Amino acid sequence: ATSAALCGLLIAQAAQPALASTGKHGKPGKPTYSAGAPSVGDPYFPDAGNGGYDVKHYDISFTYDPATRHMDATTTVTAVATQGLTTFDLDFRGPEISYLSVNGHRAEFQRSGQELVVTPRHKLAEGHRFTVVVKYAGTPPVVTDPDGSIEGWVPTDDGAFVPGEPQGAPAWFPGNDHPTDKATFTFHTTVPEGVTAVGNGRLLSQKTKKGWTTFLWNSTEPMATYLSTVTIGKFTVTESKTPEGLPIYTAVDPQLVTQSAGAVAQIPDIVDYFSSLFGPYPFNTAGAIIDRAPDVGYALESQTKPIFSSAPGVSTMAHELAHQWYGDSVSVTRWSDIWLNEGFATYAQWLYTEHNGGATADQTFNSASNYGRAATSSFWQVVATDPGPEDMFGNVPYNRGAMTLHALRGKIGDTAFFALLKQWATSHRYGNATTADFIAAAEKASGKDLTNFFDVWLFQKGKPATW
């Protein structure tokens, strides 16, 4: 409603030359138009994201046949121009495009790497909402990451496993692939009868016609593209509610039901415990997708539906659920700050293990895989705030990140520390934040100058000796 009103206002302004938009240098004059930037300038993924617009909503509609691995898709991107645009880029690595329109007019486009450069028939005015429709068909690609792991569209025996961090989303839909541009999503997915398609958010409908079932998933809270998924397969689906009424939807590969039962059963308790520590669970639904995707070999905190490529233990389940607060609701502004996701989720695992009667967080801090590592270990030679794209999901952002939080807790005391964790989740809810923001928040929560503390833990190499 706000944007419709905004659009109306700008149309009204355009009709009155006296109120014509101001140019780049602040002088009133003719609106200026130029090409949107092909990147947001994140050094870890120089092609990721684009400039000149802000996506509001993705409507992703496709049919997928696991037998042929063929996808037939129509994605509609609704965005607002943040500058006058002659052309703009979307990130897309998917199959061949048969049709592309902007505001209903067929538009020219060129593809090179993951850049889909669109030239709309009419220039797009700053502040205006526009709609891009892209039709494409074929087999979406598997994407290989700098650390050698795979993501994107990963076919399985009975469907597809779809993780997108940090750069997998453009495998299956065109968009603005950077965590700084969050949007709402709807997914309409049609699969052969008997197969389940599980997306983010809530299931609005499931209808079968002539041997095909269409699942409509709706994700109403802002979501980064890398957290989107529609994972497809033959699943055992269970729907329940937490005592507080939060719906839980789990989809588990039938072969993994027994092995993952323990972790699945703990979901309500984990959500409840983390809600007490971090503040209210940020989304209107929770759950998990547990599949067999041995070539992937990791789990991912896809929003409201973390995905697991094998049966998880309780601790991994806790990690992915903690990410719903730290990573999904509060997201990084740039990928080099990945410790803000992984360090927090790892520390949440330590806390849950203690809560569950296992090792205390202090014992985990001191263990051989953490502070117990020898000072000569190469582990201490990676800077936590700049692991590089190859090591962003390596031990350092996770374990040095979690150690940083535990050391901070010791430094500022439990009261300030736990207030900080809550405040961090609340004040950046559905937004983005940086390490500098966290340091400022920690100093504010504790009333202490923490420059030296964060310097040794986050910005320097070496095993911190004193802090």
Enumerate binding residues for ligand ARG (CB under 6 A): 145, 147, 149, 151, 165, 298-301, 319-320, 342, 393
Tokens 């009868």 identify what position?
193
Name the one range near Zn ion by CB under 5 A: 205-213, 242-250, 344-352, 443-451: 344-352
To ligand ARG, the closest distance from the beta carbon of 84 in angstroms equals 36
Q: What is the signed CA dihedral for 101, 200, 152, 46, rounded to 10 degrees?
A: 70
Give the residue closest to ligand ARG by C-beta: 149
Which two three-digit tokens encode residue 239?
Answer: 């729907």
The secondary structure of the chain in percent helix, strand, coil, rounded to multiples of 5, reads: 30, 30, 40
Nearer to ligand ARG, 26 or 294 (CB): 294
Q: What is the total count of residues that contact Zn ion (CB under 5 A)?
A: 2
Nearer to Zn ion, 107 or 345 (CB): 345
Nearer to Zn ion, 77 or 318 (CB): 318
- Rounded Cα gap, residues 411 and 419, in angstroms: 14
Query: Which of the choices ligand ARG, Zn ion, none does residue 181 contact, using the CB cut-off of 5 to 8 A by kind?
Result: none
Pairing label, strands 84-85, 33-34: parallel
Nearer to Zn ion, 120 or 287 (CB): 287
Nearer to ligand ARG, 145 or 177 (CB): 145
Residue 32: DSSP 8-state: P
Kindly write out the interface string for residues 182-211 of this chain, putting x where it contacts Zn ion by CB under 5 A and - elsewhere.
------------------------------
**What DSSP element (H or E) covers 372?**
none
To ligand ARG, the closest distance from the beta carbon of 364 in angstroms equals 17
Tokens 């323990």 identify what position?
262
The sign of the dihedral angle between the CA atoms of 179, 185, 189, 195 is positive
Query: Which of the choices Zn ion, ligand ARG, none does residue 47 contact, using the CB cut-off of 5 to 8 A by kind?
Result: none
416: helix, coil or strand? helix
To ligand ARG, the closest distance from the beta carbon of 238 in angstroms equals 22
- Rounded Cα gap, residues 457 and 408, in angstroms: 9
The Cβ of residue 424 has, within 10 Å, a number of other Cβ atoms equal to: 23
- The torsion angles phi and psi of 436, rounded to 5 degrees, stand at -60, -40
Query: Which of the choices Zn ion, ligand ARG, none does residue 90 contact, using the CB cut-off of 5 to 8 A by kind?
Result: none
To ligand ARG, the closest distance from the beta carbon of 82 in angstroms equals 29
To Zn ion, the closest distance from the beta carbon of 395 in angstroms equals 12
Which two three-digit tokens encode residue 418?
Answer: 């736990």
- The torsion angles phi and psi of 14, rounded to 5 degrees, stand at -60, -30
Query: Which of the choices Zn ion, ligand ARG, none does residue 177 contact, using the CB cut-off of 5 to 8 A by kind?
Result: none
To ligand ARG, the closest distance from the beta carbon of 316 in angstroms equals 8
Type of residue numbered 181 = D
- Spell out the residues 6+ positions from residue 269 whose beta carbon is closer than 8 angstroms to its own: none
Residue 235: DSSP 8-state: -
Which of 90, 191, 345, 361 binds Zn ion (CB under 5 A)? It is 345
- Asked if 311 touches Zn ion (CB under 5 A), the answer is no
Query: Which of the choices ligand ARG, Zn ion, none does residue 145 contact, using the CB cut-off of 5 to 8 A by kind?
Result: ligand ARG
Kindly write out the interface string for residues 324-343 of this chain, putting x where it contacts Zn ion by CB under 5 A and - elsewhere.
------------------x-
Nearer to ligand ARG, 144 or 451 (CB): 144
- Rounded Cα gap, residues 240 and 382, in angstroms: 43
Binding site for Zn ion (CB under 5 A): 342, 345
